[in-house]
Structures are given as structure tokens and as C-alpha cells.
Amino acid sequence: MKHKNMRLITLSLGAVAALVLSGCSATNDSGDEALTIAFLMPESNTTRYEAFDKPLFEAAIEELAPGSKVLYSNANGDPTLQQSQLESVLAQGPDVVVLNAADSVQGEGLVDTANSAGVPVISYDRLIDNENVGYYVSFDNPQVGVLQAQTLVDHLTEQGVTTGDLLMVNGAPTDPNAAQYKEGAHKVIDGTDFTIVGEFDTPNWAAADAQQWVEGQLGTIDRDSLIGVYAGNDSTASGVVAALIGAGISPVPPVTGQDAELEAVQRIVAGTQYMTVYKSIKQQATDAAEAAVALARGDEPKSSSETNGIPTTLLTPVALTAENISDTVIADGVYTAEEICTAELTSACAELALK
Ligand code: GAL
């Protein structure tokens, strides 16, 4: 174990009691010890954590270590709440904490808190830059930004649009991924003749803040020159699209996104959002579950690279437009065509041959 033994002296009484309890934990049918694993997610403006990460992680743990318990909490974007959620799960003696930090800087301290209680930490999706993190799983995040911007730029170029104004609605300043998306997107856009006329970091990725900022911009920029909007994810994209439609801008210029949320895929079918980035949360949650079980059993998790000394796995994101809905989210069983194709999307779905 990397952390110093001295730290163990700082164990709270609750954590000691919990460790004693976990020492007596049950075994499953195959004789393996049933585990207790904390799964702490950062916010709920984005639907992925509750709709996919949580159930997929729980299912993977049940498969790998039947009878194990997953302690789930969502910090709703509040780092102080996440700190108390961590303290409360530590009091229940988890074998591993899987942490997606609401605030990456504060997350560095949370890793020390967990390690002090003898509990290893997996950094989930957002990097926590603390060398005592046991494992990190995410996507190639700069590549997410490249895909967003390149898909937008290629689309505009195909339409014969090579100059004009763009707005950039980035993600949360507390999320290191948002900086990487932004960096990847800039790499593409800065090499074109398009002009970024306004750029915003959206607190906590909230749709309402993205909407309000775009509404403000539409009051000052030349609307006729606006040829597209970079939005960092589908939550911010929903605010952007609401602002554009609310201002009577029609047709809605191409807007990017990320996460392949159901409503975003429906906007893509309807033509009010141009693209999203599909990241297989099943792959990510399963990978994290395998690493969690390995760490809990004292084994090394499988990894393919290192990030600042932390064993790492980075998964591959895919650009999703109206052209490949069937080959991505439908083929992978994320959504059925019936779920996507509501009554008002019937004819658009038929045109795309979604079934
Ligand atoms: C990022 C994550 C995205 C998006 C966003 C908002 O860190 O990679 O998938 O959901 O946070 O939570």
C-alpha cells in the first residue's frame, strides 16, 4: 500500500468499527468474499450517472462478485456534499471507493481521506491528480473535443460554409475533462477561418446557465453570421438549442454535444442538434467494476497506460450524427428505435430508416 502507516492512526472510531465489520463480511456461493464498493458520482444535470453508470456498474459488480453491495451517492454538483457522502460511505467500511469528483482539486484530498481509512480509490471518468489513486478509467477526452469540432467543421464545409461566427459553450471549470474537450475543440477550430465570437465555461454543466449565456450573446452578436455552436455536452446543448429556438432562429444552426442522451438523440432526429459523442458507458462501468474487484481482492487492475503514475484505461469515443444512430446506440442496445421515435418524430425516423 502506498500510503504511510502513520495515517492509519488517524482512523476515526466509525471507520475502525466499519473495518472490523467488513472483516466479518459474507461469502457468496463460489466462496469469494462479498464486497462493499462505494460508487460516488458528481452531478445530476446530466442524465448518464443515474440512467446508465449506476445500473451498469451495479450489474457488473453483481456479475463479478455476486452478493456484493454497491453504496451509491450523487453529489449534485456540490463538493461539500460529496465530502460528507464519502465520510458516510467510509463509515460503512467499503473495500474500494470509485470516485467521480464533483471538484477535481477537492477530489485530491478525498483520495487521502479514503486512503487514510485503508480504502483504495478508483478515479472514474474525471482524473483526480493524486499519485495515490489506484486506477483511472475514462475516455480519450482530448479526442472527444476533436470529434465535436471536426464533425461540426466538416458539416459546415460540406454545406459550402467556410467562414462565419461560432459560439463555444464549454463544460464546468471544476471538471478537468471540460478543459480537455475545450483544448481538443480549439485545436480544430483555431485552424479554420471560422471566428469564435464568444466563449463560456458553464458552471456544473447546467442547461439553464448555458441557455442564459447564449440568450445574452444573441443580444450582442450579429445573429445572421452565427453558423454554429460548440456545446460541450448534451445538457449544455439542450440549453443552447432552447435559446436559439426561443430567439426565433430558424433553421437552428448546427450544435454539438456529448453523452448521447436520449433527448439529444431525439433532437438529432428532429434536426435541432447536429451531433453528440457516444461513449459506451457499459464499457466504462464494466472496466471500473473489474478494477474495483481486483483492488478489493489485493490484485493489480488491468490497465493499458499510465497517467501521472496512475494505471489507466482510456476508451474510444465515437461521433454520432443522424447517419449512424442505428450503428451506435441502437446496435449497442442503449436505446430501441421505439424509445427514440416518439409520435412527433415518426416521419423523421422513417426518413432515417430507424427501426
Ligand atoms: C464529464 C463527462 C461527460 C459529461 C460531463 C457532465 O466529466 O465526461 O460525459 O457527462 O462530465 O457530467
Say whether both 267 and 286 belong to one domain. no
pLDDT for 5: 34
Say whether both 271 and 291 belong to one domain. no
Q: Is residue 348 part of a domain?
A: no
The CA distance from 127 to 312, in Å, is 10
Beta strands in the chain (DSSP E): 36-41, 69-74, 96-99, 121-124, 135-139, 164-170, 194-201, 226-231, 276-278, 305-307, 310-315, 318-320
Say whether both 129 and 146 belong to one domain. no
Cβ–Cβ contacts within 10 Å for residue 101, how many? 29
Say whether both 248 and 291 belong to one domain. no
Q: Is residue 1 part of a domain?
A: no
Say whether both 62 and 147 belong to one domain. no
Q: Is residue 287 part of a domain?
A: yes
Is the CB of 267 inside a 6 Å radius of any atom of ligand 1?
Answer: no
pLDDT for 355: 82
pLDDT for 33: 84
The CA distance from 149 to 211, in Å, is 20
Distance 42 CA to ligand 1 centre (A): 9
Say whether both 266 and 210 belong to one domain. yes
pLDDT for 29: 64
- In angstroms and rounded to an integer, the radius of gyration of the C-alpha atoms of the chain is 22
Q: Which helix (H) or strand (E) segment is 188 a member of?
A: helix 176-189
Count of the separate structural domains present in the chain? 2
Say whether both 149 and 273 belong to one domain. yes
Instruction: Specify the length of the chain in residues.
Output: 355
Q: Is residue 342 part of a domain?
A: no
Is the CB of 125 inside a 6 Å radius of any atom of ligand 1?
Answer: yes
Residues 103-115 as b/e (b if ≥16 CB within 10 A, e otherwise) read bbeebbbbbebbb
Say whether both 275 and 285 belong to one domain. no
CATH of the domain at 128: 3.40.50.2300
Say whether both 295 and 256 belong to one domain. no
Three-state DSSP state, 350 = helix
pLDDT for 30: 63
Distance 84 CA to ligand 1 centre (A): 22
Say whether both 119 and 196 belong to one domain. no
pTM: 0.92
43: containing domain: 13-133+280-315
Is the CB of 276 inside a 6 Å radius of any atom of ligand 1?
Answer: no
Say whether both 270 and 287 belong to one domain. no
Distance 171 CA to ligand 1 centre (A): 8
Q: Is residue 5 part of a domain?
A: no
Atom of ligand 1 nearest to the CA of 48: 10
Say whether both 270 and 177 belong to one domain. yes
For the chain, residues with pLDDT lower than 50 are: 1-24
Cβ–Cβ contacts within 10 Å for residue 282, how many? 17
